[in-house]
Amino acid sequence: EVQLVQSGAEVKKPGESLKISCKGSGYSFTSYWIGWVRQMPGKGLEWMGIIYPGDSDTRYSPSFQGQVTISADKSISTAYLQWSSLKASDTAMYYCARHSALGGWYDYWGQGTLVTVSS
């Protein structure tokens, strides 16, 4: 069974750093792109970027380029999303999702990680 399990909720202060994780299982982790999607409170879905764990090839949405870093450790089947200096506007639910090998859709999703940034 394909599963993406994300790390737990985080509460941080502005200016702090953070790295959240997404662990894949039940499939060949290195053979599928993993994407990250933001959902701000009460809002819609926004695509942030994508990584191919096999070789760490990473692409970012222009809206998020330079704001976050996406990485992966294929030895432990885990993808990451990190911030070096959080802002209150980073408060959101963040989802990882597996990109289908057949086309541009996301066929399996993590449960989400809620990040709250507040002073």
41 token code pair = 């409170």
Site string for other proteins, 13-42 (x = CB under 8 A): ----------------------x-x-----
Which residue from 8, 41, 66, 103 is in contact with other proteins, where contact means CB under 8 A? 103
**What whole-number distance in Å separates Cα of residue 106 and Cα of residue 95?**
11
DSSP state of 27: S
Element (H, E) at 117: strand 113-117
Site for other proteins in 41-100 (CB under 8 A): 44-47, 50, 59, 61, 95, 97, 100
**What whole-number distance in Å separates Cα of residue 86 and Cα of residue 14?**
5
# binding residues, other proteins (CB under 8 A): 22
Query: In the complex, which residues of this chain contact other proteins (CB under 8 A)?
Result: 35, 37, 44-47, 50, 59, 61, 95, 97, 100, 102-107, 109-112
